Structure 1
Amino acid sequence: MYDQQNFPFLKTTLSLFIACIAHSAYAIDDTSKVQKLDTIVIEATRTDRDVMATPASAYYIQQEPQKGMNVNLSEALKGVPGLQLNNRENYAQDLQISMRGFGARSSFGVRGVRLYVDGIPATMPDGQGQTSNIDLNSLDHIEVLGGGLSSLYGNSSGGTILTTTREGQGDDSITLGYAGGSENKGQASLVLQGGAKNANEPSYILSSSYFDTDGFRDHSGANKVLSNAKLTWNLDDGSKINWINNYVKIDADDPGGLTREQWKANPKQVAGNVSLYNARKEIEQLQTGLTWNKPLNDQHEIYAMAYAGQRSVTQYQSIPQTAQGGANHAGGVIDFDRNFYGTDVRWTGKELLPNLKLIAGVAIDAMTEERRGYENFAGSVLGVKGNLRRNEDNTLWNIDPYAQASYAINDVVNVDAGLRYSNVHFKTEDHFLTNGDNSGKTDYQKLLPSLALSWQIVPELMAYASYAQGFETPTFTEMAYPAVTANTPFSLKAAESETYELGLKSDNVLGQFTAAAFYTLTKDDIVPLKNEGGKATFRNADQTLRQGIELSWQKDLWRDLSAQASYSYIDATFDKDTVDIAGISPIPNGNYIPGIAKNQAFLALGWKPENGLRAGVDVRYSDKIYVDDSNSDTAPSYVVAAANIGYKWTVKDWAFNTFARVDNLFDKDYSGSVIVNESNKRFFEPAEGRNWSAGLSVTKEF
């Protein structure tokens, strides 16, 4: 697998690691002067270990006092190496998130990266997820698990993002806030919270907000209602219960993409059909879930989670009516109602044998969906729901047993192993046969092993090596249309990957430093075939290769001044020729995988006292991004900067927090994301120019 063309990369990586070890050893020569940052326990790997002792690319982001609109996850997730998070400036299609290149193919929603909110999946069993129900106003922290060990979470885990909301604490309080900004952005928010007053009573936090905007581009206005409620019981028997309820409703116009010529002429414009057919999306989702954690004794612990939800989506696309008469075409209006539910139960055993921790569990998830398709016209009236073109019932479920073990061989060497049997079952019953029968069923299954060896070289320096196998099924949406009319709708294979990773983590007088080098080979990678007439179709690439380096550093420099920096390099290529299909040209071996930036860098400085004046600046660099498999064009590289300032003060039982910020400080004209393989060459989704926001929140304790 490690052929000669990869030797320079591996040689460079090895040199880097040797340099890092030498540098860290020098830095910690006088251990009496070491001033470490606070220890942070990360839960993403389920071993509850210090993030700096976790043998994986794991990162912990603490939510800070509000310094932005608090609408998009991209505001909170900055500077995580390997994570590419693009804001489309399009609330109808969600953010574009990829980890080490997994998920970059998505033209809407999130693929290839699993999302969790308070332990409850925000990703369906087929790997399709969304960030719209993540409430930044009540967020406590985010954990990001990248690399091969994300396979601990099963299907479609090129990376895992776990968000956790705060728990109520202290006296009852109410917080009222308002933030506004460019393009008539505005968000009004309300947060009620309080700690438990008596034993076995719950603490609570209730958060609700309303956001609306005219949008940066023409036809990109949106409004969003988001509510999140969390009750927490810490019971006398040592058990803990969280009950989480979440509601989101979004109405958003969809501006679509632009050709390069359109973008350069006027980045705010939209293609003619977008306005003609009034492209837009309506989303409504309600979800509830319970988590329960109970220590049985000093050695045994039980965790259980159960959830259920309902999601309704109606999307009006800008597909010309002349294109909707073709075979298998589902029309220009997508309309579905989805019910989803599941559970995860696991046991943890500690010190059953000396220095051994065992975990065993099973995750069960299911989804049922009534999906309809309609023409987006009625007679001469465009942009309305017309004749039925699709009517099907979809069912999807998985039962994934898993086990993990963590064994300390001695005081400095630890072995972590995991095994998960991931299996996903699809079934479609087509009730509208006029344009072809899409009925069918299939299942995908794979045993996913992982292994990590860590070595605490000195107390301030840890090295690790890991291996894991990954697994990603196509989503229901990606299997909706066969690549060729004669094909069955379930012809796509699941992608299977192998990841090797080497890493270093150091916590010393110079700060916290992490370095990781990875090599991921994927067979049958799922890649876009074409996006034509509103039909996005996909194929399997024979083999793809992702290899790269990720670096991060953070340090408290002086008093309340802190710094953060990160850098990512990823070489993501097609590693074999992908054959011709449906008249589309083959993908040559060596072409770069579209949608992925080869280099990314981030630098931030912040003055962050508990009270008083706060300020910060950050700079982000992203390399060029190829827009299609033939590498015919790119979204150019860019550098953008942002600055924020705020003031927080308290007067008795009142607290006030203000902020003001400017994003894209130097008014850079760039494409925030791309639509991969768009057949009309409308690849580009322009980002907003220089823009500002400001806000005030007032908290009263009772």
Structure 2
Amino acid sequence: MNFSIAAPWMPAWALSPRPIALAIGLLCAANAQAQAESQEATLADAGALSPMLVTAGRSGSGVWRGAASVDVVDGETLRDGQAQVNLSESLGRVPGLVIRNRQNYAQDLQISVRGYGARATFGVRGVRLFVDGIPASAPDGSGQAANFPLGSADRVEVVRGPMAALYGASSGGALLLYTEDGQQPAQWRTGVVAGSDGLWRASTQATGQTGTPQAPGWSYAVDVSGFATDGTRPQSAADRSTVNMKLSRPHEGGRTVLVFNLHSSSALDPQGLSRAELDANPDQTNAAALSFNTRKTVAQTQLGLAFEQALGNGHKLELMGYGGQRQVVQYQSITTGAQMPPGSSGGVIDLDRDYWGWNARWRHEGDWQGGRLSLSAGVASDLQSDKRKGYENFIGSTWGVQGKLRRDEVNRAQTLDPYLQAEWRTQDLTLMGGVRQTRTQYESLDSYIVGANRDDSGSKNYHATLPVLGVRWQLNPSLQAFASIGKGYEIPTLNEVAYRSGGVSGFNTALNAARSTSAELGLRGRADKLRWSATAFDIRTDDEIVVQNNTGGRTTFQNAGRTLRQGLELAGEWRTGPVTLTSAYTWMRANYQDAFMTCTTTGCPSPSPQVQVPAGHRIPGLPMQQLFAQAAWDTGWAGSRVMLETIHTGRVMVNDLNTDSASAYTLFNLALQFKQERGDWTLREFVRLDNLTDRKHAGSVIVNDGNGRFFEPGPGRKLLLGLEAQRKF
């Protein structure tokens, strides 16, 4: 199979022999994407639970006729043969997505999409997260994926490219999880997993529907799960419990949906290792983490309500509102000396967050000019109010305990985003366009004004208009091309504006948002046994947000000029008899286009010396190459399936100065699954062996770590066993 992709904005490297050779080989393998018509038919319109209309569930048509880069991983793939603890277990099959388990449950997953979000040292930045339409990202763009209920997931949609900007500011990509709806007959499912390092996970799901098929009542889906692990290193034990519930009821012309989520977790923090520590013993933990007993606890409660109503003649009204409360207490390893200056916020974070939001949308669908026209317009607003306190992490000579108060403030972020989207579709052509005006207000009210510690209150407003355009051409029934272009806008988080340069406390009003122009051009095809896609992208950013200084437990940020991200994504799926081959490959070059100055000592920019980051340096945290390949064989014996996975990750720079890097590595995983149908019962068992060759590697990096502890070791050879029982009633 031969094909080519070319556009005026594409660099010469995209057509070089190496990527094309890889493309030809990879198109014979695959990624379980939603291009298949059989999968499209199973995707229901999420309605008011969809934060925008770019999702694969739109009108049941899936992504085959869409003008955006959207991949869908269904719930069965997310769960089969997996621990069902982290999104990273199954989303490696999505090209353009870097998602890694840090083996540190105090800092959450490391997620970036086409380079967006790579700078995050904890949590998620630059990528929007949603669960059943409710943001798992705060208005300032920070987020966490720990409360994603994988046990009851119907599907996860991964939106990449220009269209992701329709989800608002800091939407370099979007991950949307939708939980399953209760249906008749009722089902009960329970499972347990156990593995190396004391890992266990137990969960129970119940789904069903009251009433009769002719007169359905409430649909319900309940998911309760618990998880714990001793961790792969000292000081890395963690536990987590989650309750997720969804109730829905149809009414004439619409439906009402209620969602509830309860999440609590506690985790020790092993932190990273220096180069010398990694080389000497990757299984160790730095002495500072042990001395200060670094750890984090989280408790979150959330409630959401969605309502949709048909108005007649193709018009529909959709309303969604949510609210929640989140508490976080985290002990850091900041040295006692670094907490002495008047502006220090201490080494203990105590955060009490209230958050809420709403989304109101009008939609219309109808025939127009020989095609199907879809229009939508709406307004979305989100608000977070953080009561943030900081304490010293010592009392006298005792470390790792809550000491004197050093910070007391209220931080607020609020968005108000009107948006408009239109799509016109025929069998052979799709035209899609949208615009979102994003407005974000930050405010900080300081209540800790003691001695030389001055009033650090401040405010900052960000606003931008983000237009996007996309088109899809069906070249023949089995081949189509698509292209899109749009503006992006990434605001700094409240944490990133918390400190000014020069080691001075107070709101950093000089820090601006990063603005980007993103374009993509792709091909996708399907045949009897093959599904494939190939997409080239180009992202040009101005005022990239980077670290200015990270010392003494305090990180300050600055704008660094232009960056360029260019890449090629390849994916597909090939089925032949009992064998399925799946793979995804990403080649990306991400560089700073302008030189900028950075600091490595306290007090930046003066009187401390600054160091220049030259133009052309690689953006840290991003591999140039990434490959996922899986071969699955349904043996026909006792419902068994054998799976072999190969995961390759290229070299990753650890800081802007490119002084060190995590080496490339290749891992092999082997899994054996069984499935038996016995009347109303379905039994599933699996055994999984990850990292077969026990390869020593740095699974992720802490970008620009001020202590030089950049490396988070990946796990060695690990065993996982699972058993699940399901019954229909």
Q: Which amino acid in 2 is paired with 1:401?
A: P
Give the distance between the partners of 2:239 and 2:411, measured in 1 at CA: 29
> What's the counterpart of residue 190 of structure 1?
204
> What's the counterpart of residue 30 of structure 1?
none
Q: Percent identity?
A: 38
Q: 1:584 to 1:510 in 2, by over 3 A?
A: farther
More off after superposition, 506-515 vs 112-121: 506-515
Instruction: Map 1:87-486 onto structure 2 (within 5 A).
Output: 87-198=101-212, 199-235=215-251, 237-351=252-366, 353-354=368-369, 355=371, 356-408=373-425, 411-434=427-450, 435-486=453-504
Shift of 1:679: 2.1
- Determine if contact 1:438/1:489 at 8 Å carries over to the other structure: no
Shift of 1:238: 3.2
- From 50, 54, 67, the equivalent of 2:81 is 67
- From 570, 575, 598, the equivalent of 2:624 is 598
Shift of 1:459: 1.5
Give the distance between the partners of 1:154 and 1:36, measured in 2 at CA: 30
Shift of 1:489: 2.5
Instruction: Please state whether the residue corresponding to 1:518 is helix, strand or coil.
Output: strand
- Determine if contact 1:68/1:660 at 8 Å carries over to the other structure: no
Q: Deviations over 1:578-623 (max 9, x none)?
A: 2456243122110000000011111112246998213312111110
Give me the TM-score of the superposition, normalised by structure 2: 0.90
Shift of 1:5: 11
- Determine if contact 1:529/1:677 at 8 Å carries over to the other structure: no
Give the distance between the partners of 1:70 and 1:3, measured in 2 at CA: 41
Q: Deviations over 1:64-89 (max 9, x none)?
A: 25312111111131211000011100
More off after superposition, 81-90 vs 224-233: 224-233
Give the distance between the partners of 1:83 and 1:637, measured in 2 at CA: 17
> What's the counterpart of residue 68 of structure 2?
56
Q: Which amino acid in 2 is paired with 1:670?
A: H
Extract unaligned runs of 5+ from structure 2: 1-5, 29-34, 47-52, 599-603
Give the distance between the partners of 1:488 and 1:700, measured in 2 at CA: 56
Instruction: Please state whether the residue corresponding to 2:543 is helix, strand or coil.
Output: strand
Shift of 1:342: 0.5
Give the distance between the partners of 2:318 and 2:197, measured in 1 at CA: 46
Instruction: Please state whether the residue corresponding to 2:279 is helix, strand or coil.
Output: helix
> What's the counterpart of residue 590 of structure 2?
572
Q: 1:189 to 1:14 in 2, by over 3 A?
A: closer
- Determine if contact 1:63/1:76 at 8 Å carries over to the other structure: no
Q: Deviations over 1:350-393 (max 9, x none)?
A: 12743322111111111111000000011222111100000001
Q: 1:513 to 1:173 in 2, by over 3 A?
A: closer
Give the distance between the partners of 1:512 and 1:385, measured in 2 at CA: 56
- Determine if contact 1:677/1:683 at 8 Å carries over to the other structure: yes
Q: CA RMSD in A?
A: 2.5
> What's the counterpart of residue 31 of structure 1?
none
Give the distance between the partners of 1:646 and 1:670, measured in 2 at CA: 27
> What's the counterpart of residue 699 of structure 1?
726
> What's the counterpart of residue 29 of structure 1?
none
> What's the counterpart of residue 515 of structure 1?
534
Instruction: Please state whether the residue corresponding to 1:196 is helix, strand or coil.
Output: strand
Give the distance between the partners of 2:646 and 2:36, measured in 1 at CA: 27
Give the distance between the partners of 2:19 and 2:494, measured in 1 at CA: 44
> What's the counterpart of residue 689 of structure 2?
662
Give the distance between the partners of 1:157 and 1:327, measured in 2 at CA: 36
Give the distance between the partners of 1:36 and 1:351, measured in 2 at CA: 23
> What's the counterpart of residue 601 of structure 2?
none
Give the distance between the partners of 1:219 and 1:327, measured in 2 at CA: 31
Instruction: Please state whether the residue corresponding to 2:278 is helix, strand or coil.
Output: helix
Instruction: Please state whether the residue corresponding to 1:274 is helix, strand or coil.
Output: helix
Shift of 1:38: 4.2
Shift of 1:335: 0.5
> What's the counterpart of residue 495 of structure 1?
514
Q: Which amino acid in 2 is paired with 1:603?
A: A
Q: 1:180 to 1:635 in 2, by over 3 A?
A: same
- Determine if contact 1:528/1:676 at 8 Å carries over to the other structure: no
Q: 1:352 to 1:68 in 2, by over 3 A?
A: closer
Q: Which amino acid in 1 is paired with 2:539?
A: T
- From 679, 682, 702, the equivalent of 1:675 is 702
Give the distance between the partners of 1:282 and 1:158, measured in 2 at CA: 29
> What's the counterpart of residue 45 of structure 1?
54
Shift of 1:533: 1.9
Give me the TM-score of the superposition, normalised by structure 1: 0.93
Give the distance between the partners of 1:501 and 1:264, measured in 2 at CA: 40
Give the distance between the partners of 1:85 and 1:3, measured in 2 at CA: 29
Which structure 1 residue ranges, 4+ long, deviate > 6 Å from structure 2? Answer: 2-6
- Determine if contact 1:89/1:687 at 8 Å carries over to the other structure: yes
Instruction: Map 1:75-90 onto structure 2 (within 5 A).
Output: 75-90=89-104
Q: Deviations over 1:534-582 (max 9, x none)?
A: 21222211111001110111132214x3221111011100011124562
- Determine if contact 2:36/2:64 at 8 Å carries over to the other structure: no
- From 5, 8, 15, the equivalent of 2:12 is 8
Q: 1:390 to 1:50 in 2, by over 3 A?
A: same
Give the distance between the partners of 2:134 and 2:635, measured in 1 at CA: 33
Count how many residue pairs are aligned between Structure 1 and Structure 2. 686
- Determine if contact 1:223/1:250 at 8 Å carries over to the other structure: yes
- Determine if contact 2:529/2:575 at 8 Å carries over to the other structure: no
Give the distance between the partners of 2:455 and 2:476, measured in 1 at CA: 63
Q: Which amino acid in 1 is paired with 2:542?
A: K
Q: Which amino acid in 1 is paired with 2:380?
A: A
Give the distance between the partners of 2:711 and 2:216, measured in 1 at CA: 54
More off after superposition, 548-557 vs 114-123: 548-557
Q: 1:3 to 1:412 in 2, by over 3 A?
A: closer
Give the distance between the partners of 2:680 and 2:14, measured in 1 at CA: 58
Instruction: Please state whether the residue corresponding to 1:171 is helix, strand or coil.
Output: coil
More off after superposition, 38-47 vs 55-64: 38-47
Instruction: Please state whether the residue corresponding to 1:273 is helix, strand or coil.
Output: helix
Extract unaligned runs of 5+ from structure 1: 25-33
Give the distance between the partners of 2:144 and 2:156, measured in 1 at CA: 16
Shift of 1:268: 1.7
> What's the counterpart of residue 615 of structure 1?
642
- Determine if contact 2:75/2:152 at 8 Å carries over to the other structure: no
Q: Deviations over 1:284-309 (max 9, x none)?
A: 11111122233323511222211111
- From 613, 618, 624, the equivalent of 2:651 is 624
